[in-house]
Amino acid sequence: MKKIQGIIPPMITPLLDDDVLDVEGAKNLVENMIGAGVHAIFILGTTGEAQSLSYKCRYEFVELVCGAVAGRIPVLVGITDTSLAESVKLAEKAKECGAVGVVAAAPYYYAPSQQELIEYYTELADKVCLPLYIYNMPSNVKVFLEAKTVVALAQHPNIVGLKDSSHNMTYLNSVKYLLRDMPDFALYVGPEELTGEAVLHGMDGGVNGGANMFPELYVAMYNAAVAQDVEKVKELQKQIMAISTTIYSVGKYGSSYLKGVKCAASLLGYCNDHLAWPYRKFGAEERAKVAEALKALGAEVKNA
Amino acid sequence: MKKIQGIIPPMITPLLDDDVLDVEGAKNLVENMIGAGVHAIFILGTTGEAQSLSYKCRYEFVELVCGAVAGRIPVLVGITDTSLAESVKLAEKAKECGAVGVVAAAPYYYAPSQQELIEYYTELADKVCLPLYIYNMPSNVKVFLEAKTVVALAQHPNIVGLKDSSHNMTYLNSVKYLLRDMPDFALYVGPEELTGEAVLHGMDGGVNGGANMFPELYVAMYNAAVAQDVEKVKELQKQIMAISTTIYSVGKYGSSYLKGVKCAASLLGYCNDHLAWPYRKFGAEERAKVAEALKALGAEVKNA
Amino acid sequence: MKKIQGIIPPMITPLLDDDVLDVEGAKNLVENMIGAGVHAIFILGTTGEAQSLSYKCRYEFVELVCGAVAGRIPVLVGITDTSLAESVKLAEKAKECGAVGVVAAAPYYYAPSQQELIEYYTELADKVCLPLYIYNMPSNVKVFLEAKTVVALAQHPNIVGLKDSSHNMTYLNSVKYLLRDMPDFALYVGPEELTGEAVLHGMDGGVNGGANMFPELYVAMYNAAVAQDVEKVKELQKQIMAISTTIYSVGKYGSSYLKGVKCAASLLGYCNDHLAWPYRKFGAEERAKVAEALKALGAEVKNA
Amino acid sequence: MKKIQGIIPPMITPLLDDDVLDVEGAKNLVENMIGAGVHAIFILGTTGEAQSLSYKCRYEFVELVCGAVAGRIPVLVGITDTSLAESVKLAEKAKECGAVGVVAAAPYYYAPSQQELIEYYTELADKVCLPLYIYNMPSNVKVFLEAKTVVALAQHPNIVGLKDSSHNMTYLNSVKYLLRDMPDFALYVGPEELTGEAVLHGMDGGVNGGANMFPELYVAMYNAAVAQDVEKVKELQKQIMAISTTIYSVGKYGSSYLKGVKCAASLLGYCNDHLAWPYRKFGAEERAKVAEALKALGAEVKNA
C-alpha cells in the first residue's frame, strides 16, 4: 500500500442523542471533506469520541462512513481499546466495510511500561487484519510511546506509521530522525497548530480536528508546506491559530476542544452537536460565543 | 438493603489463555474466600483486569461467579467503562445473575472535570438497575473524585457507597467527616495496608486484593479493628505488610501487584496465572521469588 | 540523642511585611506551643514558607526562635535547598543557635532519580553538623523518596528519621515495616488528619500545622493514640477534621492551607497574617469565613 | 532597548569542584561562542545549574562572565528563585556587572495558580532593575505559564519577552498569535530541536544548550530559518538531531542532557565536567560513549 500523505481529518461522530447516530450529519461531513480534497478520513479517534460510544454504535459508524465514502478516499478506523480482543474484532469490521488501516493508542486503564507496550503492540499488529498505525496520545492514555519504542515497533511489517498528538515537536523530530532510513513509515501530527511546521520538516500530514469544519484550510496548509512556501504557511497559520485560540477555548473545562468542534459543525449546518457522556454539549451562552467566533472568522453561520 | 461491612475481596479473573476463563480456578477461589468468612465478593475491578477482557468474557465471568456464590454472600460487579451505555448494559447482566450492587470508577479516556463527573455519575445512577458504589482510582483513571464531589453524589438515592484506592487517608478521613450525618453511606478502603487503620477509624471495610490468597488474614484484621483491639491490629498489620512488601514488589514494572497476586494464587494451587494483555505473567525467575516469599510467609506452595 | 516523640509543630514564620519578621508574633506562638506541651518545634519547613524568605530572613528566624525557646524543648530547622552548600551553611547556623537537628526535603529544581537521591542525601548527611531528618514532600519537590531509598539512607549514622507528608499511608506503613529492626529511626507524619492513626500504628509523632493554632488538641491526640484509647482518638479526630475541612478549604487556590493557618493565627491574636511571595494573605471576605469557622470550632476570635 | 534576536546559548557553569568555578573553562566557552557569532549569552539558567550553586558562586559567575564578555554581546542573567527578595538582589548584581536583562521562571517550591503567577511576576517586574524575560519551564517548576498569563504579563512595561522550554509548539504558536500586535515582545524557544521551525514561524531565536559545544551550528540554523531556506533548515536539523539523539541520551536518568553537555564540553577541551549536586558527572563508560558520539559527529575530541 502506498503511504497516505496529506490531511486526514479525525472525524467527529455526529449524534442525535445518546448512542443514536446523526446519519445525515455524517454524510454531510463526509461530502464536505471529500469535496475539499482531504486525503483520507480517520474515524473513531479521540475527536470521534470513540471510547464514549457503545460498541454497537461504533460498528454502525464504521459501516456508515465507509459506505458514504465509497472508496473515494482511504478510511482509517480507530481501534484503541483496553481489551486487545475488542480491538482485533473492530479491525475485522473495519476491513469488512472497506477501511484500509487501523489506528491504536496504548491500552489506557493500566499504564504499561515501554517494554510491555512493545509486546502489546507486537501482538496487536500480528492479530489485526489491516495495516496498523500507532498513536501517541499521552494526555488521554497516561503513557508516552517513547521514540525508542516507536523505532522498535516500526520494524514490524504490519506497523506502518505513527500519529503523534503529544504537542511535543522535539519528540516527533526525534522519531523522524531515528527513522530516517525508513521513509515508508508514515508520520502524522495530530494538533492542527503544528501541521505547517511538521510538513515543512518532512512529516507526512496532519490529523487535524479543525478539518471537520474547514477542510479546505488544512488542505491548503498541507499544500503550502509541501511546496515549502513559507510565507503562505505563515499566512495560513494565522487562520489556523485564529480558530484554535477562539473556538477551542470557549468554556472552562478540559473538554473545550471537543465541545467547540461539534458546536461549530452544528452552527455551520453540517450536523447535530450532541456529545456522548461524560460530556454534554455547550449551552446557549457558550454556543453564542462559538457563533461569534465563527463569524469573526468569516464563516457563514447557518444554524445559530 | 443493609450496608455491607467487612472484607470484600476484589477477585482476580482466572484465565487459562487470552479471553478463556479458568472455570475451576474461579470456583476454587470462591469456595476458599467464602470458607474464610469474607463478607462479599467484588468482581471485574482493577484487580480483576476487567478492562483487559472482552465483553463476552466479562459477561461469562459474571455468570460464573454469581452461579458459584449462589447467594451465600453478596456479589458486587465492576461496571467501570468509558461508555455509559456499556456500563448500564453490564449492570443489567449483573442484576439478572443475582449481583446486589455495581461499582464504577470514572470514565477513563477523557479527564472530566468535577462538575462533569457529578453529571456523569448522576446519569449513571439514574440508569443502572442496582445500587451504585463510586470508586476513586486516580492512578488508573487520571481524575480524583474530590471529597466535595463525593458529598454531592452521596445525596443521590441510588449511590450507596465509595471505594477509595487513592492511598490518601487524609482524603478518606475528610469524606467520612463530611458525611458524618449519613451513616448508611458505605466507605471502603482499597489498599489492604490501610484496612486496619481505616476500620479503627470507623470505615466499613476493605476491598483487599490479598484476600484472593489469604482471605482469613484480612477477615481477622477486620474483626480486630472492629473490636478496637489495637495490639491485634498491629500484629496482623505486620503480616499484611510482609505480603505487601514482598509478593507485590517482585518484578520491575508498575504491574507487580497484579502479576504477584495471580502468580501467588497459582502457586497456592487455586488457579492459573495467565494475565490478560497488556500484561504477561511472571517468568520462571520471578515465579521462584514469589514462591520463596510465600514460603517465608508460612504458606504451603503446592504448585511451584 | 534520644528519639523525639510527640507533636512537633511546623511553625509558621510570622511576618509584618515582605521579609520583615513579626518578632512579637513569633514569641507568642512559641509560648503558646510550649505551654500546650508540644514536644519540639520545627521551623523553616513548608508551613514556615522557608523557600519564600530571603536567606537573611531565614537566619534571623533561626536566631529568634532558638532564643525564644531557650532550650526548653528541642528545635529542628529546615535546611531544604536546591544548593547543598546553602543547606550545610544553614545547618551551621542552626547548630550555633542551639537547634538539635535539621530537616531536608529533596533538592527541588531538578528531579533526581532514586539513586541520585541516595548519593545526594549521603553527601548532605556527611557534611551537616547536626542529625539529619529526611523529608518526603512529593507535591512540592516532584520526587518521591521511595521506601527502598529511605531504607538505604536509614543506614547512615547521621540520618535519624523521616518526616512524611505524602498523605500516602501505605507508603509510611511500608517504611515502618521495612525498618522494623531499627526502632531508633524516627517516623513522623506531616498531615494532622493522619496523626491519630499513624501513632496508633506505632509512628513517633506528628508534624502538624494545626498546632500553630491549637497545639493542645494535637498533643491530646498524640497522648490518646499512645494510650491506644481508640474512642478518644475518634473523638479528637472529629475536631481535627472540623479544622481541616473548614479553615484549610477557604479560597480557591492550592494555597488555602498556608493562607488559612496564618489567617487563623492572626484572628486568634497570635501574630500578623502577612504571607511571603508568591502568596498574598486572605482578603476581607475570606478572612471573615475563617473567623466564622473558628467561632464554630469554639475558638475565641480576638482580632476579627 | 532593541529586541535581541538569534542564538542565545544557555551557558553551562564550568566547575573545578563543588562550588569552585573553572575560570579558564568559562573564558574558553565565552570566546568560542562569541567567535561563532552567537547573539547573546544567558547564564544561570537550567543548563547553568544555577539552583544547585551557592549564592556566592552565582554572584562570582555573573562577575566572571560579564567581565569576559566585556560588552561585546548582551548578557542575560537567570534570577529564578523561590524568594523574590533574592531574585531582586541578584538582578542588582547583574546590572552592576553590565548584564542587560534578567530571566525568571516561576517560583518552584509551591505551585502558584495562574492568578498568583500574574501577581508574582508583576511584583518582580516592578522591583527588578533590568528588563525581565519570563521563562516557561514546567518540567522543573511544576507550573505552566498559560498563554493567557503570558498575554497579561506582556502588558507590563518591564516584561520584554518569553523563553519557552515546554517543547509544546502549540503553546508557543498560541502565544505568538495572541501577541501578534506586540512585535517587540521577544519569543525564544529553549529546545534546540525546535529552533528551526520556531524561527521559520517568526519566533526570535533559540536558547539552545548545544551552542555550548557547537555554537556555529545553531547560528547557521538561525540564519537559514531567517532566510526561509527550508532545504538548509532541514539539512542542519539533521545535524542538530544527531547531537540530540546521541549526546543527550547517554545514561539512564533524567539528567542525561546536563551531564551530556558538560561531558562533551570537557571532551572538546573547553572546560571541566564537574557537576553540582544533586548530580555527578558521567563515569568512564558513559564518557567513552559521549566521546564516540562526538567523533561520529565529526568533532575533534581533545580530552578523551
List CB contacts (< 8 A) between C201 and chain B. 196-197, 233-234, 237
Considering CB atoms only, which of A55, A110, A280 is closest to B278? A110
pLDDT surpasses 80 at A252: no
Chain segment D182-201, per-residue pLDDT in tens = 999 999 999 999 999 999 99
> What is chain A's alpha carbon radius of gyration, rounded to the nearest angstrom?
18
Q: Which amino acid is at D132?
A: L
Give the three-class secondary structure for A233.
Answer: helix
Shortest distance, CA A51 to any CA of chain B (angstroms): 5
A193/A177 Cα distance (integer angstroms): 21
Q: Structure pTM?
A: 0.96
Chain segment B138-195, per-residue pLDDT in tens = 999 999 999 999 999 999 999 999 999 999 999 999 999 999 999 999 999 999 999 9
Question: Contact A52/B110, CB-based, under 8 Å?
Answer: yes
Which pLDDT does position C251 carry in this prediction? 80
| H or E element that contains C136 | strand C132-136
Which pLDDT does position A251 carry in this prediction? 80
Least Cα distance to D212 among D184, D182, D187, D248 occurs for: D248
Which pLDDT does position A157 carry in this prediction? 97
Question: Contact D279/C18, CB-based, under 8 Å?
Answer: no
pLDDT surpasses 90 at B251: no
Shortest distance, CA A230 to any CA of chain D (angstroms): 7
Q: Write out the residues of chain B at the interface with chain C, using a CB-CB cutoff of 8 A.
A: 147, 167-171, 173-174, 176-178, 180, 191, 193-194, 196-197, 200-202, 228, 230-231, 233-234, 237-238, 241-242, 244-245
What Cα–Cα distance (Å) separates residue B220 from each residue in B205, B231, B299, C201?
A: 12, 13, 17, 17
Question: Contact D173/A231, CB-based, under 8 Å?
Answer: no
User: In this structure, what C-alpha cell is assigned to residue C6?
Assistant: 510527640
B255/A143 Cα distance (integer angstroms): 14
Residue D50: CB atoms within 10 A of its CB come to 27
pLDDT surpasses 80 at D132: yes
List CB contacts (< 8 A) between D277 and chain C. 83-84, 107, 120, 123
What Cα–Cα distance (Å) separates residue D156 from each residue in A67, A91, D24, D151, D181?
A: 56, 55, 39, 10, 15
| H or E element that contains A76 | strand A75-78
pLDDT band at C253 (very low <50, low <70, confident <90, very high): confident
Question: Contact D107/C83, CB-based, under 8 Å?
Answer: no
3-state DSSP helix/strand/coil % of chain B, to nearest 5: 50, 10, 40
| Averaged pLDDT for residues B31-58 | 98
Which pLDDT does position A143 carry in this prediction? 96
User: In this structure, what C-alpha cell is assigned to residue B18?
Assistant: 487470552
Residue C268: CB atoms within 10 A of its CB come to 21
Instruction: Delineate the domains of chain B, giving CATH numbers in brackets.
Output: 6-231 (3.20.20.70)
Percentage of chain A beyond pLDDT 70 is: 100
Which pLDDT does position D172 carry in this prediction? 98
Which pLDDT does position D304 carry in this prediction? 77
A72/B216 Cα distance (integer angstroms): 64
Which pLDDT does position A168 carry in this prediction? 97
Catalytic (active-site) positions of B = 135, 163
| Averaged pLDDT for residues D108-124 | 97
| Averaged pLDDT for residues C37-46 | 98
User: In this structure, what C-alpha cell is assigned to residue B204?
Assistant: 466499613
Considering CB atoms only, which of C82, C89, C253 is closest to D116? C253
A192/A240 Cα distance (integer angstroms): 7
Q: Which of the 8 DSSP states describes residue A3?
A: P
Which pLDDT does position B30 carry in this prediction? 98
Question: Within 13 A of C220's CA, how many CA atoms are on the CB side?
Answer: 15
Mean pLDDT score of chain B, rounded to an integer?
Answer: 97
Residue A278 contacts by C-beta under 8 Å, 6 or more apart in sequence?
Answer: A52, B84, B106, B107, B110, B112, B116, B117, B119, B120
Chain segment A60-94, per-residue pLDDT in tens = 999 999 999 999 999 999 999 999 999 999 999 99
D109/D254 Cα distance (integer angstroms): 19
Which pLDDT does position B289 carry in this prediction? 96
- For C103, list phi and psi in degrees, rounded to 5: -130, 130
Q: Which amino acid is at A251?
A: G
pLDDT band at C24 (very low <50, low <70, confident <90, very high): very high
The burial class, CB within 10 Å (0-12 / 13-18 / 19+), for A153 is buried
Q: Pick the residue from chain A with its C-alpha nearest to B255.
A: A112
Pairing of strands C205-206, A20-21: unpaired
Inter-helix orientation angle B114-127/B84-97, to 10°: 40
pLDDT surpasses 80 at A134: yes
What Cα–Cα distance (Å) separates residue A231 from each residue in A200, A225, B71, B262, D203?
A: 12, 10, 73, 60, 14
Pairing of strands D41-43, D75-78: parallel
| Averaged pLDDT for residues D202-231 | 98
Give the three-class secondary structure for A9.
Answer: coil
Which of B121-135, B243-257, C20-34, D120-134 has the lowest average pLDDT?
B243-257
pLDDT surpasses 80 at B115: yes
pLDDT surpasses 90 at C9: yes
Residue D258 contacts by C-beta under 8 Å, 6 or more apart in sequence?
Answer: C110, D47, D49, D275, D279
In the residue annotation, D108 being an active-site residue is answered as: no
Size of interface A-D (CB pairs under 8 A): 85
pLDDT surpasses 80 at C304: no
A242/A220 Cα distance (integer angstroms): 16
List CB contacts (< 8 A) between C194 and chain B. 169-170, 173
Question: Contact B112/A253, CB-based, under 8 Å?
Answer: yes
List CB contacts (< 8 A) between B235 and chain C. none
pLDDT surpasses 80 at C132: yes
pLDDT surpasses 80 at D1: no
Mean pLDDT score of chain C, rounded to an integer?
Answer: 97
Of the candidates D135, D188, D218, D257, the residue annotated as catalytic is D135
Considering CB atoms only, which of C177, C196, C200 is closest to B245? C177
Question: Contact B177/C234, CB-based, under 8 Å?
Answer: no
C223/C236 Cα distance (integer angstroms): 11
Chain segment C136-181, per-residue pLDDT in tens = 999 999 999 999 999 999 999 999 999 999 999 999 999 999 999 9
Shortest distance, CA A202 to any CA of chain B (angstroms): 31
Which pLDDT does position B1 carry in this prediction? 72
Give the three-class secondary structure for C269.
Answer: coil
Shortest distance, CA B2 to any CA of chain A (angstroms): 30
Q: Which residues pair with B228 in a beta bridge?
A: none
Which pLDDT does position B20 carry in this prediction? 97
Q: Pick the residue from chain D with its C-alpha nearest to C138.
A: D109
Omega prior to C278 cis, within 30 of 0: yes
pLDDT surpasses 90 at A288: yes
C48/A261 Cα distance (integer angstroms): 47
Apex B19 CA angle, B15 and B25, nearest 5: 20
Which pLDDT does position B252 carry in this prediction? 75
Which pLDDT does position B254 carry in this prediction? 77
List CB contacts (< 8 A) between B46 and chain A. 109
Chain segment C197-247, per-residue pLDDT in tens = 999 999 999 999 999 999 999 999 999 999 999 999 999 999 999 999 999
In the residue annotation, D177 being an active-site residue is answered as: no
Are chains A and C in touch, 3+ Cβ pairs below 8 Å? no
List CB contacts (< 8 A) between D141 and chain C. 109
**Under 8 Å between Cβ of B125 and B88:** no
Element counts in chain B: helices (H) and strands (E): 12, 10
Shortest distance, CA B266 to any CA of chain A (angstroms): 22
D75-78 sheet: strands from edge to edge: D6-7, D205-206, D186-189, D159-164, D132-136, D101-105, D75-78, D41-43
What Cα–Cα distance (Å) separates residue A261 from each residue in A49, A79, A161, A170, B161?
A: 12, 22, 26, 27, 37
**The cell 521551623 sits on which residue?**
C43
Shortest distance, CA B107 to any CA of chain C (angstroms): 24
| H or E element that contains A189 | strand A186-189
Question: Within 13 A of B289's CA, how many CA atoms are on the CB side?
Answer: 17
- For B76, list phi and psi in degrees, rounded to 5: -110, 145
A47/C202 Cα distance (integer angstroms): 51
Chain segment D27-36, per-residue pLDDT in tens = 999 999 999 9
E strands along chain B, which residues? 6-7, 15-17, 20-21, 41-43, 75-78, 101-105, 132-136, 159-164, 186-189, 205-206
Percentage of chain B beyond pLDDT 70 is: 100
C140/C258 Cα distance (integer angstroms): 13
Torsion from C-alpha of C215, C221, C222, C228, nearest 10 degrees? 170
User: In this structure, what C-alpha cell is assigned to residue B94?
Assistant: 449483573
